[in-house]
């Protein structure tokens, strides 16, 4: 039974992650318990090898930089757009060579700058679904000829979607987005890939922390007991708790002649 938080979808809710130490803690537990980032890096790497140039990389919603930092090794220059002040300043300290804009993708002004590779991983949920195509069009405007955009999203099926739907509603229509991208950029310019990873924790505390991280909106923290019960019932294994994550990677290419 979905719990009523007064909001229909997480992307509609006002999520203020500024100075949110609990969010940082949840992110850290998630990152240390999942094979996701390693697998995602391999999948993103498969796209990067097809680029004609590896000069300029733009990461939209870089978070703690878990993808940004390794991917930046393949490019001459890295730019980050990250609205969370804390994440942006941590990244600025850790990687002073990056160009960091502490702003949202919708608002940031990058002038006429263009990038060979643009990554937008697990960020679109923060933007209303009706604005996704214009959001992606802004990325396309900043894409070099021959460049690639990669968008990573949670799959609407699998363990994570089932969990999410127990407490909220994960209604992302990936097929519709894919169809719209094909209409906008053409069949040859669009690709879709699917990959799976595993979250494993020894303790229920850590798995519940990951559950609350996945639910995104801090108001779900009041349902911690229900989240714990969900994992105890559905995801207990011999040596702890195990949860599979299914993800979709969309690629948009710009041809070499623009
Ligand atoms: C779940 S994290 C993903 C971090 C990283 N991309 C990854 O996949 O590991 C989402 C990030 O998107 C950022 N974000 C939220 N709204 C955004 C927006 N409108 N424009 C750009 N980034 C945004 C958040 O501050 C957060 O750092």
Boundaries of every domain in the chain: 18-155+171-199+242-253
Give the mean pLDDT of the chain.
Answer: 91
Average pLDDT over residues 19-36: 86
217-241: burial string, b at 16+ Cβ within 10 Å, e else: bbbbeebeeebbebbeeebeeeeeb
Alpha-carbon dihedral 23, 110, 43, 124, rounded to 10 degrees: 50
Q: What local confidence, expressed as pLDDT, does residue 59 receive?
A: 98
Q: Which fold has domain 18-155+171-199+242-253?
A: Rossmann fold (3.40.50)
Decide: 127 in ligand 1 pocket, CB within 6 A: yes
Q: What local confidence, expressed as pLDDT, does residue 23 receive?
A: 83
Q: What local confidence, expressed as pLDDT, does residue 257 receive?
A: 78
Q: Is the pTM of this model over 0.75?
A: yes
Decide: 84 in ligand 1 pocket, CB within 6 A: yes
Contact 114, 120 (CB under 8 A): no
List the residue whose alpha carbon is closest to atom 17 of ligand 1. 104
| Backbone phi and psi for residue 220, each to the nearest 5 degrees, phi listed first | -70, -10
- Is residue 258's pLDDT more than 80? no
- Is residue 14's pLDDT more than 80? no
**47-59 tens-digit pLDDT:** 999 999 999 999 9
Query: Reduced to 3 states, what is the DSSP secondary structure of residue 128?
Result: coil
Which of 26, 58, 61 is the best mutation target for the ligand 1 pocket, counting ligand atoms within 8 Å of the beta carbon and taking the most? 61
User: Which segment of 8-17, 70-79, 80-89, 105-114 scores lowest on mean pLDDT?
Assistant: 8-17
Q: What local confidence, expressed as pLDDT, does residue 170 receive?
A: 73
Decide: 60 in ligand 1 pocket, CB within 6 A: yes
Decide: 61 in ligand 1 pocket, CB within 6 A: yes
Packing angle, helices 204-215 and 224-234, rounded to 10: 120
Decide: 122 in ligand 1 pocket, CB within 6 A: yes
Count of C-beta atoms within a 10 Å radius of residue 72: 20
Average pLDDT over residues 37-44: 96
Decide: 123 in ligand 1 pocket, CB within 6 A: yes
Q: What local confidence, expressed as pLDDT, does residue 16 receive?
A: 56
**202-236 tens-digit pLDDT:** 999 999 999 999 998 888 989 999 999 999 999 99
Contact 132, 177 (CB under 8 A): yes
Contact 153, 247 (CB under 8 A): yes
Q: What local confidence, expressed as pLDDT, does residue 21 receive?
A: 82
- Is residue 7's pLDDT more than 50? no
List the residue whose alpha carbon is closest to atom 19 of ligand 1. 104
Contact 88, 22 (CB under 8 A): no
State the distance from the centre of ligand 1 to the C-alpha of 256, rounded, in angstroms: 29
List the residue whose alpha carbon is closest to atom 4 of ligand 1. 63
State the distance from the centre of ligand 1 to the C-alpha of 123, rounded, in angstroms: 4
Which of 12, 40, 126 is the best mutation target for the ligand 1 pocket, counting ligand atoms within 8 Å of the beta carbon and taking the most? 126
Q: What local confidence, expressed as pLDDT, does residue 141 receive?
A: 98
Q: What is the H or E stretch that residue 104 is in?
A: none
- Is residue 12's pLDDT more than 50? no
Q: What local confidence, expressed as pLDDT, does residue 11 receive?
A: 43
**117-134 tens-digit pLDDT:** 999 999 998 999 899 999
Closest approach atom of ligand 1 to CA 82 = 22
Average pLDDT over residues 141-169: 94
State the distance from the centre of ligand 1 to the C-alpha of 63, rounded, in angstroms: 5
Cα gap 106→257, rounded to integer Å: 27
Closest approach atom of ligand 1 to CA 31 = 9
Cα gap 208→224, rounded to integer Å: 7
- Is residue 4's pLDDT more than 50? no
* Residue percentage of the chain with pLDDT more than 90: 79
Please report the sign of the dihedral spanned by the C-alpha atoms of residue 36, residue 37, residue 42, residue 48. Answer: positive
* Residue percentage of the chain with pLDDT more than 70: 92
């Amino acid at each position: 039974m979905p719990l009523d938080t007064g909001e229909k979808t997480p992307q509609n809710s006002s999520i203020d992650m500024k100075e949110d130490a609990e969010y940082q803690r949840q992110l850290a537990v998630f990152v240390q318990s999942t094979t996701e980032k390693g697998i995602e890096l391999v999948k993103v790497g498969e796209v990067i090898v097809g680029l004609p140039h590896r000069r300029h990389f733009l990461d939209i919603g870089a978070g703690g930089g878990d993808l940004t930092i390794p991917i930046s090794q393949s490019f001459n220059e890295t730019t980050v757009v990250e609205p969370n002040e804390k994440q942006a300043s941590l990244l600025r300290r850790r990687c002073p060579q990056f160009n960091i804009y502490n702003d949202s993708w919708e608002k940031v002004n990058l002038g006429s700058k263009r990038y060979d590779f643009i990554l937008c991983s697990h960020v679109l949920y923060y933007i209303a679904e009706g604005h996704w195509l214009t959001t992606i069009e802004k990325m396309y405007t900043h894409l070099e000829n021959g460049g690639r955009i990669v968008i990573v999203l949670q799959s609407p099926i699998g363990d994570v979607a089932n969990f999410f739907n127990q407490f909220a509603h994960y209604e992302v229509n990936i097929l519709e987005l894919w169809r719209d991208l094909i209409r906008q950029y053409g069949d040859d310019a669009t690709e879709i890939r699917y990959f799976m990873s595993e979250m494993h924790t020894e303790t229920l505390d850590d798995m519940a922390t990951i559950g609350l991280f996945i639910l995104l909106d801090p108001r779900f923290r009041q349902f911690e007991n229900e989240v714990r019960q969900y994992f105890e019932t559905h995801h207990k294994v011999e040596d702890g708790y195990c949860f599979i994550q299914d993800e979709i990677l969309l690629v948009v290419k710009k041809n070499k002649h623009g």
